[in-house]
Structure 1
C-alpha cells in the first residue's frame, strides 16, 4: 500500500479520559455548580486529554429497592449509572449539610452502589464551597463512603472554598467562580485527578 512499509512505526492514539462531574446542590445559583462549570472550562482550554461532563442528579428518585425490578432500575437511575460506568474518573463538588454529605449527593452515591457497583476502581476528586469550614467535614465523610465503594480519591491538593459573608466574594450571585486565584487552585486539583487516573489505568502521563 502506497506510503506504508513494514518498518513504519505504530501510531498510538491516546483516548481522552472522561470525568463525570456531580454537584451535591440542586440550587441553580450554587457556587458548587459554578465550580463544575469552571472545571469544564479549564479542562477544555488548558488540559489536553481530559473531558469533564456535568452529570445531573436532580431527577433521581429517592432510593427505594421496591423500584428495582428483575435487576433493572428506573430509567433515570439507569441513565445515571451508565454515565458513571462509562466515566474514567469522578469530580464531586458539594456543599456541607449539617456537618455531612448533602441528601441529593448521598442518594446518588447510593443508587450508583447498587449491584453492580458502578463506582468501583475509579479515580475521584473532591471540591467544595461552603460557609466557615469550606465543606471539609462532608469531604471526609465522602472519603469514608468511598472506602466501601472502592473509589480512589486523590489526597492532594485539597480544595475547600470558604465563602465569606462580606466582599470580596469568590462567586457571583449566579454561582460563577470569579476569583482567578481560586481558579488556579481548581486547575491543580484537575491536573492531579488527570495524572492519578492515568496511573490507575496503567498509562504514563
Structure 2
C-alpha cells in the first residue's frame, strides 16, 4: 500500500514592522528559506504584506464590504491554516500596523477564529517578549490558539551578530530555534484540524 501524502499546511506570515530591513521581517524571510531548504517539510509559508492596509475606519465598510486591499488581506487570512507573527515591541506592546491588520481581519466575520498561531520576535533587551504577551491577550478575543512552546525571543543586539547588514538572520542557533517553532506550529495545526 502507498503511504498517504501528508497534507501541506498553509502558513500566513505577518510582520508587524513595515521597514524592509527589519529584524522581525528577517525572521520571516529565514522561516521561508528554511522551508525551501526542506529543514521543515509539510508546510508552505506566504508572507502577507500589511503595508497597503488603510487605517481601520468603519466608514470604509460599505454594505458589508471592505476596501479592496482589506478584502484581499482578509481572504489570505481566511485561506491560511495557521499564522506566524513576527512582532516587534513598540512601547511594551504590538506595533500600530500589526494591531491595525489584526483589527481589520477581526471585523465581521472574524477570519482569525479557531486557528493555530506562533509568534517570533527580535529586538533589544527582552527580545520583543512584552509584545508577544500582549499579542497573546489579543488572541484570546480573536479565538486564536497560540503554541505555548517553544517561545522565541531574540536579543538582536547582543554579540555575536544575529543579523547581517540587510536584516537577514545569520545566527545558526537562532535558525535551529526557528525550526522548532515551525515544527510546533505544524503539529498544533494538524492537531486542531483533527489530523
TM-score of the alignment, normalized to the shorter chain, above 0.5: yes
Segments of structure 1 that go 5 or more residues without pairing to the other structure are: 1-8
Segments of structure 2 that go 5 or more residues without pairing to the other structure are: none
Distance 1:163 1:48 in 2: 27
Contact 2:123 2:157 in 1 (8 A): no
Distance 2:2 2:66 in 1: 43
Q: CA RMSD in A?
A: 1.3
TM-score by length of 1: 0.91
Report whether the alignment pairs 1:102 with 2:95.
yes
Q: 2:86 aligns with which of 88, 93, 113?
A: 93
Distance 2:166 2:104 in 1: 29
Q: 2:178 aligns with which of 179, 186, 204?
A: 186
**How many residue pairs were aligned?**
194
Report whether the alignment pairs 1:51 with 2:44.
yes
Structure 1 residue 35 displacement after superposition:
0.3
Distance 1:97 1:139 in 2: 11
Q: 1:150 aligns with which of 143, 146, 157?
A: 143
TM-score by length of 2: 0.96
Report whether the alignment pairs 1:26 with 2:34.
no
- 1:137 aligned residue: 130
Structure 1 residue 12 displacement after superposition:
4.2
- 2:188 aligned residue: 196
Report whether the alignment pairs 1:124 with 2:121.
no
Distance 1:106 1:179 in 2: 29
